[in-house]
Amino acid sequence: MARNAEVAVVGGGPAGLLAALLAARTGAATTLIAPAPPQDARTTALLEGSVAVLREVGVWDSLQDLAAPLRTLRIVDGGRRLFRAPEATFRASELGLEAFGWNVPNAALTAALANAYENAPGAVRLFAEARESRPGDELIELTLDDGSAVEAQVAIAADGRKSLLREAAGIGFKSHRAPQTALAFSVSHDRDHDGVSTEFHFEEGPFTLVPMPGRRSSVVWVATPGQAEELAALSLEALGEAVTRKSGRLLGAMRVEGSVGRFPITVGAATCFAARRTLLVGEAGHVLPPIGAQGLNLGVRDAARAAAVIAAARAEGRDPGGPQALRAYGRARAADVLTRAAATDLLNVSLLSSAPPVHLARGLGLAAISRIGPLRRFVMREGLMGAPSL
């Protein structure tokens, strides 16, 4: 006998947990199918629009003290090329905001979301993996690895970049591997960061310092796969010296804390975002390079839109997995996802390119954004905020 739900959410990463919580809050009978997520020592820069969603669902209070505000964003061209972009500095105060966003530990974020979901009325969590997804005319049926089954009106696919549900819905995924690997780890340092997040642009990719509470920062160091392998093989002490040098001693001497994660860079997006009773949320729909903190912020907006579409269908007595709901979700998410995927990919490719005209164009673009007031505020609002509508 299959268990029945209105909404089944597959995947317990941050995007899936938030989608399940928001779906349950619409009053829909929601079942989350997700094994416990793997340990994740990273942090995520969540922009103000995403934090507003976390406030709305009541999980921000437990995260705020663990998070650091991002009051200023700096982009520094660290390369040694003929045309170097001018430094660009953006202050949240220019938009009348305390911060562009907050840097939050991933483990605390997923724990807070899981806890809130498990306390939501009517929410069911199954610690299992989906093995098969069969979308049908009336329902979608999911078979789990424990042999049980769940039938739902609509499934939210939050099962990551290799999404089983996306494939079962017949949705394609266009992706390519960049010749880059990101190293992610935390450091303590001698000087205050003063709430400034700095993204250095080097020939092999971005190198980003994101504030954490106290004199600590998260580092995302994008390097060639060979360089990443060499750096990851260093002792933590030697890596601390390397990261101090790479940052130009911006925050004084740095010491690496805890583990060092390695992430090959893939860039990709689904060919559409909803089909056959399946809505794609988070990395099931898009995988972006770690530039400008866009990845999970897009995932938050996916989750918010999926819940809005489900709420509208329920309010009007329509099928939440029917054609109208799928069309509404697909249309609403396509422009946001595709423009941000293209912009981050373009910026990343422009760093890797060895063609001087490409560097000149990037430099002129950044100079224009820095100096032309209305353009500058537009970019800050659109590129950095992207406020979702609940």
Interacting residues with ligand FAD (CB under 6 A): 10-16, 33-35, 37, 42, 44-45, 129-130, 158-160, 164, 182, 184, 220, 263, 282-283, 290, 293-297, 299
Q: Which is nearer to ligand FAD, 16 or 195 (CB)?
A: 16
CB nearer to ligand FAD: pick between 106 and 370: 106
d(CA 235, CA 240): 9
Burial class (CB in 10 A: 0-12, 13-18, 19+), 149: middle
CB of 12 to ligand FAD, least distance (A): 5
Name the strand (E) or helix (H) holding 107. helix 106-118
In one-letter notation, the amino acid at residue 126 is: L
CB-wise, 67 or 369, nearer to ligand FAD? 67
| Least distance between ligand FAD and beta carbon 16 (Å) | 5
- Residue nearer to ligand FAD on the CB measure, 204 or 283: 283
Strands (DSSP E) contained in 161-320 are 173-189, 196-202, 205-212, 216-223, 254-270, 274-275, 278-280, 286-287
Q: Could you tell me if residue 96 is left (phi over 0), alpha (psi between -120 and 50 degrees) or otherwise beta? A: left
> Which residue shows structure tokens 């063609």?
355
Shortest distance, position 83 Cβ to ligand FAD, whole Å: 28
Rounded to whole angstroms, how far apart are CA atoms 213 and 327? Answer: 42
Kindly tell me which of 299 and 321 has the beta carbon lying closer to ligand FAD. Answer: 299
Q: Take residue 286 and report the two structure tokens written for it.
A: 């898009």
Question: What is the closest distance, in whole angstroms, from the C-beta atom of residue 36 to ligand FAD in the complex?
Answer: 8
Share in percent of the chain as helix, strand, coil (round to 5): 40, 30, 30
| 269 token code pair | 């997006």
- Could you tell me the two tokens for 36? 């416990």
Here the tokens at position 134 are 């069969």
Q: Which is nearer to ligand FAD, 29 or 296 (CB)?
A: 296
- Nearest approach in angstroms of CB 155 to ligand FAD is 11
Residue whose CB is less far from ligand FAD, 17 or 309 = 17
183, 262 contact by CB (below 8 A): yes
Q: How far is the CB of 239 from ligand FAD (least distance, A)?
A: 16
**Nearer CB in complex with ligand FAD: 223/363:** 223
CB of 245 to ligand FAD, least distance (A): 21
What string of H, E and C letters represents the secondary structure of 331-373?
HHHHHHHHHHHHHHHHHHHHHHCCCHHHHHHHHHHHHHHHHCH
Give me the least distance between CB of 384 and ligand FAD, in Å please.
11
